[in-house]
């Protein structure tokens, strides 16, 4: 395959996913990782993609539906730092709602360090990771989302959450606009998150800096709706709020 053909195929794959790791592209195209990196360098110099540690996103990819397996690699260092900072907001014996986001999944990995927590989640990966520990964990049940197979959605999930109350709800979303509005591209996930937020005593948004200034089709809410917002960016300097202490810098 010629270089120009490889670059065209890389762009075609990124147009489908918005983000991909080098390993994903290498396996998908059956080309060495070193060749992929050289092509990505050239595409970045042309302003078509933006590289990050271990992967690449297509420029202006806000609102694209990125598979969970790829999202879990995107900005993983920032998400791990956010998860660690968010852990301080959970106490022993708390009941915690976690959505199906990759950010919440990183929180799930740390929850076994807190005694007596009960976890309720619609994230299939979070359930799998917690299953190996002595943690009380409930699945919301529901249908595997046709758009995002790692997440459970629909009426069954919402009905289960109506019967539950939690001390903490931790969610994420795909985009946070300049006015603090929160958006996602999966409408059914928004409905499940809304039920989690309605039945939780404390509401926490996990927001890595790649989401800032982006937009997606469906409105989830606003940063003002949350008790705490945890990010790797200093959001207190971005959003004009009377309570800057609600913004926790990871």
Residue 51 is encoded by which pair of tokens? 């590289």
What are the DSSP calls for 6-54, one per residue? Answer: HHHHHHHHHHHHSEEEHHHHHHHHT--HHHHHHHHHHHHHTTSEEEETT
Quote the pLDDT of residue 239. Answer: 83
In this structure, what DSSP letter does residue 126 have? H
User: Could you tell me the CA-to-CA distances from 149 to 21, 119, 186 in Å, in that order?
Assistant: 19, 20, 11
In order along its 250 residues, the chain shows pLDDT tens digits of 556 678 878 887 887 777 888 888 988 888 888 888 888 888 888 777 888 766 888 765 445 555 555 554 556 788 999 999 999 999 999 999 999 998 999 999 999 999 999 999 999 999 999 998 999 999 999 999 887 888 999 999 999 999 999 999 999 998 999 899 999 988 999 999 999 999 999 999 999 998 898 878 899 999 999 999 999 999 888 887 667 789 999 9
Residue 237 is encoded by which pair of tokens? 């300097």
**Residue 143: beta bridge partners?**
153
Quote the pLDDT of residue 67. Answer: 55
Q: Which ranges constitute the DSSP H helices of the chain?
A: 3-17, 22-29, 33-45, 68-71, 76-86, 102-110, 124-130, 155-162, 187-198
Spatial neighbors of 143 by CB under 8 A, at least 6 apart, are: 152, 153, 154, 156, 157
């Amino acid at each position: 395959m010629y270089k120009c053909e490889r670059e065209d195929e890389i762009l075609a794959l990124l147009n489908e996913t918005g983000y991909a790791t080098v390993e994903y592209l290498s396996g998908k195209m059956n080309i060495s990782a070193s060749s992929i990196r050289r092509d990505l360098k050239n595409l970045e110099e042309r302003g078509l993609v933006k590289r990050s540690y271990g992967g690449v996103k297509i420029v202006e990819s806000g609102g694209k539906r990125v598979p969970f397996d790829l999202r879990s690699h995107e900005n993983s260092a920032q998400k791990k730092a956010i998860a660690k900072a968010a852990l301080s907001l959970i106490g022993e014996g708390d009941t915690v709602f976690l959505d199906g986001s990759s950010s919440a999944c990183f929180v799930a990995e740390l929850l076994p360090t807190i005694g007596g927590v009960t976890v309720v989640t619609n994230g299939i990966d979070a359930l799998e990771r917690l299953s190996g520990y002595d943690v009380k964990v409930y699945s919301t049940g529901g249908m595997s989302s046709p758009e995002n197979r790692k997440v459970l959605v629909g009426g069954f999930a919402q009905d289960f959450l109506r019967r539950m109350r939690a001390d903490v709800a931790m969610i994420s979303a795909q985009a946070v606009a300049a006015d603090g509005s929160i958006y996602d591209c999966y409408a059914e996930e928004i409905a499940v998150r809304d039920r989690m937020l309605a039945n939780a005593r404390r509401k926490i948004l996990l927001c890595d800096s790649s989401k800032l200034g982006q937009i997606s089709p469906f409105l989830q809410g606003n940063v003002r709706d949350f008790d705490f917002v945890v990010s790797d960016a200093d959001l207190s300097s971005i959003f004009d709020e009377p309570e800057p202490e609600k913004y926790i810098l990871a």
